[in-house]
Structure 1
């Protein structure tokens, strides 16, 4: 049922003088209530019923569509000699262990393999993200306390 059909149904019920109409179809449930006095008040509830298709089939095309634009935006020509440290999980990015502590790393700081760069909170667990390379932090790509996605670039490191 499309929007035009719903609008026509509302007009029909308002003109018919009926106080309430309930309509249930395969994937839509609609309730329309009106008052029969001088001024007509319309209340419409449209509820989309759950689709019983398997979740894997419904989600897979969206994942493919969402992945394509990210791949096109990713190339960065001027930073080609830098190493990108990416998020290994989905969560909230924190640059410090707690609000009263100093930042783990700053731009220009030299890091070694195994140094903690940030913390990512996922499901109330705080995961320390350690560096897998040695070098110098060139750029921090994410703001503190921001949500991050899996494989999202977090830091640019100059390995030289």
Structure 2
């Protein structure tokens, strides 16, 4: 399968519309890696396919133009007057869940004490539910993400008062 520059651009546009921050596609014939919030969109392939892919440098503009405002807003909120708090960030992209099931109590809510190494949320990525453990101990002062919302890598999830 030889991907033409138009097909690569269509694929990038489609992925940009999904809101994902990073996508890696690999087959026997090609490898494609697309990252948002990066200066460069990287594509690589076996040497025999390098020439057809060389015409694809137009790709960075559409990807960069579709950045979402939610992560930026969360970052801005974390750096205003709340600078004394520790930001707990997402270690991956996926869907954020505050509890292990819809009926269960949230792992962490405003006012709750959290401990280092204890679960604070779940992030679903590619149908795998990953328990995210806290890197800090303290009291949750703000939850910055709604339950069942998509999150980006390094997006602030919680603000924690370490005192």
Q: What is the TM-score with the length of structure 1 in the denominator?
A: 0.59
Distance 1:73 1:126, change over 3 A: closer
Matches within 5 A, 1:79-118: 79-118=82-121
| 2:149 paired residue number | 146
Distance 1:158 1:66, change over 3 A: farther
Do residues 124 (structure 1) and 127 (structure 2) align? yes
Do residues 158 (structure 1) and 152 (structure 2) align? no
Question: Please, what is the CA RMSD of the aligned residues?
Answer: 3.1
* 1:66 CA drift (Å): 6.5
* 1:53 CA drift (Å): 4.2
* Structure having greater relative contact order (Cα 8 Å, sep ≥ 6): 2
Q: Which runs of 4+ in 1 moved over 4 A?
A: 51-56, 58-67, 69-73
Distance 1:131 1:72, change over 3 A: closer
Distance 1:150 1:81, change over 3 A: same
Give, in whole Å, the separation in 2 of the partners of 1:154 and 1:73.
8
User: Which 5+ residue runs of structure 1 have no aligned equivalent?
Assistant: 1-26, 28-48
Does structure 1 conserve the Cα–Cα contact (< 8 Å) formed by 2:74 and 2:155? no
* 1:151 CA drift (Å): 0.9
* 1:147 CA drift (Å): 0.7
| 1:20 paired residue number | none
* 1:143 CA drift (Å): 0.4
Give, in whole Å, the separation in 2 of the partners of 1:62 and 1:92.
24
The 3-state SS of whatever aligns with 1:155 is strand
Distance 1:158 1:128, change over 3 A: same
- How many matched pairs? 113
Matches within 5 A, 1:1-160: 49-50=6-7, 53-54=53-54, 57-60=57-60, 74-75=75-76, 76-160=79-163
1:37-76 per-position Cα deviation (integer Å, ceiling 9, x unaligned): xxxxxxxxxxxx5356459844445566677x86698342
